[in-house]
A = this chain, B = another copy of it.
């Protein structure tokens, strides 16, 4: 084995240390960068999840308001008109915050937006279209609070 002087030894050790710390520094920088990216993604997701949860809590309230109103469709007294305006206002709040009401009929069945709760056999309508909406859905894609519960045409 070749002999090395103590001075050269010391120099090599310092160089190794420098390389080692440079490597650690670069890895930690990369960790920092990854954490920043994950941070901003998680922050957005956390905000959305939190808002979805808060909005979903109101759907049973709106459902019950509509149920009450369904028993008073002929009722034209001003108080009932006021209650109907409140129902419309609630639907507007949902739409404005990114949760549009989903209650279209005549559209093709879409498993992402519709939940089938019944079928019909109507020869005058195309196969696979939504015949009626039993319970409206709210939101779409990542803001979907629930799909619309629908009756679909299944021509036998």
Contact = CB atoms under 8 A, between A and B. Distances in A.
Interface stretch (A25-33, A111-119, A124-132): A25-33
A33 to B, nearest CB: 10
Size bin of chain A's contact surface = 35 or more
Contacts of A53: 51
A123 interface: no
A71 B79 contact: yes
A55 B83 CA distance: 20
A12 to B, nearest CB: 8
A10 B93 CA distance: 71
Interface stretch (A34-42, A101-109, A146-154): A34-42
Interface of A: 7-8, 10-11, 14-15, 17-18, 20-22, 24-25, 28-29, 31-32, 35-36, 39, 42-43, 46-51, 53-55, 57-58, 60-61, 64-65, 67-69, 71-72, 75, 78-80, 82-83, 85-86, 89-90, 93, 96-97
7 contacts: A7-B8, A35-B39, A54-B54, A57-B97, A61-B90, A68-B85, A71-B82
